[in-house]
Amino acid sequence: MVLVEISLRTKSVELAKLLAAEVTLVSEHLIRDIRCEMINPEDAKQILVTVAKRHSAKLDAIAAADVAYGEDVEASRLADVVAGWTNRIFAAHGDAARIGEHEEREMKAAGLDQTVIDTVRQHLDFYRLQGIYPPPSGRISDLLEERGIPDTKVNFQQAQQLYLRGVSAALLDTRRRWTGIRPDDDALLQAALVADAGAVAPPAHLRPASAPLPARQVPELQQEEDDFDVEDEIEGDDDDLEEPTRGLVEIVERAAGQNIKSDDWTEKTAKQHVALAKLFVRFVGHDNPAKMRQSHISDFKVTLSEMPKNYGKSPRDHVIPLVDILARAKDMPPEQVGLSQGTLNRHMTQMGNIADICKHAGFPFGNFEGVSGLRSKKKGSGRGERGRFSTDELRLLFNLPIWNGCDGEDSRLSPGELTFHDASYWIPMLALYHGPRREEYCGLLVSEVEADAEVPAIRIEPNFVRGLKNADSKRRVPIHPELIRLGFLEYVAALKDIGHVLLFPELRAAAPSTPMGDVFDEAWQDMRVAAIPSAKEDGKVLHSLRHWCNNEMKQVGVAAEIRKDILGHTNADTNEGRYSDAARLRLMAGALAQLPQPTAHLSQFPIRLIERVEKHLAPPTKARKSAP
């Protein structure tokens, strides 16, 4: 019996007695009507079985077609799992379907990782948006008609639930459909063999004379005891007796949110930790910190060193089995396999952070001995690890048609009469003459350029586009005279006049999660190859411009304290108040003015914006590569 308490919203005892009687009477009528309208258990069972069998047959046909046309079997299996859970949650929740803590816990217990759970969450919205949910009303009415059940509101709702449950059951039967394990085939074979044996009965003189054993003497099958495994039993007992736990990914996500709020982590750092936690969970095959060991982290590092360098570029990398990704790596050239030493060290440091986070959250790893022994030791001083551009090479870069007249917007490297002012024009100069990090200048806002200040400057601070590496990265840097000479302030004014917020709006990708620096990178690669073909082989990258800026200031005697202020490095001798001091800005401007000027030969051209910026055109979606 379930007790239901209802407030009668009165303090009068007499009125309460009257209301209580009326409520009781109405509730009895309501319950009686519901019972009369509910589908009986046998009909409900038949509807569920009918839907599941029909949908299974349909899915078998689709699976056969997928195999025939060479589709990715694992991707198809995963799609069935996602659709199965989507239908299951709709069946349970109806229109208000959502994934809460209970649903997420059940999904993780069923072996789904956080990426798949997030995909199911997206599918709930997608089903509503595309009209996949609710299912066609005619289909539900047909089910009721087949069983001779009145098409009432309550019956329809119950039949819809049964329909969704049947579809879900068929979709989640992936073991039968995608692994080749077909119990139904085995059952058919056994039935056929039994039938054949019965058709050819042995002669009477060969039949056993003894009577069959009484039922109580027939030995029972002891499948559970025969299949007993000590390790499995211990693991099972632990699962049954242990207190409820949070999953690793959930713990890291919570900590990441707190660290962002407290300014201990940037958005980028938080995303890196969460992504690594998800990958580690896929590697170990579960989400329980208590079962994670030091050996898992060590083996994880080995796996990372065997993965393709382009891992993570495709969304499919986050859902297909790691064994398939490693198999792909075996067919790739050696130079395309294995994360760099620096990246591996960063991942190991972050694994140490993740283990610490779990410990302080009250869910420590089962065994953790630290990561210092897993980090590779860097050899030498590190000065020669990344290539540096010479000033002469930079003059070659700025001799390209981008800065001297090109053939058109789509032909920036072909000589012509047109000069466009956009990210390709300004970003290499910003990197060269101010030394910021890639996302710092790619993600600048128009409002962060102080054109009318006593010393024109750029404010580098967290904004809605991107954060900063650390607190010391927040700074003001005077605008170099070369940028002012070539029209940078006029460019900013032109953007402001037509209502732009971003300093380089063309770098905003269709996918909000794509860093603006990634969008610029394609143009950078083209101009680097065109100007200095050996740059890639020599390890000369966009970040090398930042090193050039620092090194050239150092060579002319600029104090380390000033260089750190300009570059946004940690500076224990500088307090925050000095960043806004105009005298301090003049000091930095004097330091920047001592840099060599590889752009001194460039002429100033009238500001010409590219069409996409001028007309506020939406970012283009990346075209899919077609099959050969």
* 334 and 425 share one domain: no
pLDDT for 33:
53
* 528 and 461 share one domain: yes
Using pLDDT thresholds of 50, 70 and 90, give the confidence band for residue 27: low
* 407 and 514 share one domain: yes
Give a yes or no: residue 559 inside a domain.
yes
* 323 and 256 share one domain: yes
The DSSP output letter for 501 is: -
Alpha-carbon dihedral sign for residues 424, 429, 432, 438 = negative
Q: Look up residue 540 and give its two tokens.
A: 């000369």
CATH of the domain at 453: 1.10.443
Give a yes or no: residue 32 inside a domain.
no
* 286 and 425 share one domain: no
Three-class HEC string of 385-413? CCCCCCHHHHHHHCCCHHHHCEEECCEEE
The DSSP output letter for 577 is: G
* 61 and 132 share one domain: yes
Average the pLDDT over each of 112-121, 410-419, 465-474 and give the range with the smallest value: 465-474
Distances (CA, A) of 97 to 5, 91, 164: 26, 8, 13
Boundary (domain end) residue, out of 374, 401, 422:
374
Boundary (domain end) residue, out of 125, 152, 178:
178
- Provide the domain count of the chain: 3
If one counts every other C-beta atom within 10 angstroms of the C-beta of residue 341, the result is: 15
Q: What is the pLDDT of residues 456-514, one digit of tens each?
A: 999 999 898 888 888 888 999 999 999 999 999 999 999 999 999 999 999 998 777 78
Q: What is the pLDDT of residues 366-409, one digit of tens each?
A: 999 999 889 887 654 444 456 789 999 999 999 999 999 999 99
* 83 and 173 share one domain: yes
Give a yes or no: residue 200 inside a domain.
no
* 403 and 288 share one domain: no
* 145 and 254 share one domain: no
Residue 520: domain span: 391-614
Specify the amino acid at residue 535.
Answer: A
* 418 and 510 share one domain: yes
Q: What is the pLDDT of residues 419-435, one digit of tens each?
A: 999 999 999 999 999 99
pLDDT for 74:
80
Using pLDDT thresholds of 50, 70 and 90, give the confidence band for residue 580: very low
pLDDT for 232:
34
- Ordered strands of the 449-450 beta sheet: 449-450, 457-460, 475-478
Rounded Cα–Cα distance for residues 567 and 586 (Å): 16
User: Above 50 in pLDDT, residue 227?
Assistant: no
Boundary (domain end) residue, out of 178, 206, 226:
178
Give a yes or no: residue 343 inside a domain.
yes
Average the pLDDT over each of 76-85, 131-140, 197-206, 328-337 and give the range with the smallest value: 197-206
Classify burial at 346, counting beta carbons within 10 Å of its beta carbon; exposed 0-12, middle 13-18, buried 19 or more: middle
Alpha-carbon dihedral angle through residues 239, 242, 243, 244, given to the nearest 10 degrees: -20
Q: In this prediction, what percent of the chain has a pLDDT beyond 70? A: 78
User: Above 60 in pLDDT, residue 531?
Assistant: yes
Distances (CA, A) of 48 to 43, 255, 290: 9, 43, 39
pLDDT for 464:
86
End-to-end, the C-alpha distance of the chain in Å comes to 66
Average pLDDT over all residues of the chain: 81
Of residues 426, 456, 432, the one with CA closest to residue 444? 426
Using pLDDT thresholds of 50, 70 and 90, give the confidence band for residue 229: very low
DSSP string for residues in 428-479: HHHHHHH---HHHHHT-BGGGEETTSSS-EEEE---SS---SSGGG-EEEEP
* 370 and 424 share one domain: no
Give a yes or no: residue 417 inside a domain.
yes
Query: pTM for the full model?
Result: 0.50
Give a yes or no: residue 228 inside a domain.
no
* 539 and 575 share one domain: yes
Give a yes or no: residue 25 inside a domain.
no
pLDDT for 193:
62
Peptide bond between residue 134 and the one before it cis (omega within 30 degrees of 0): yes
Residue 415 forms beta bridges with which residues? 406
Rounded Cα–Cα distance for residues 433 and 549 (Å): 6
558: CB partners within 8 A, 6+ apart: 591, 594
Give a yes or no: residue 220 inside a domain.
no
Q: Look up residue 426 and give its two tokens.
A: 């300004």
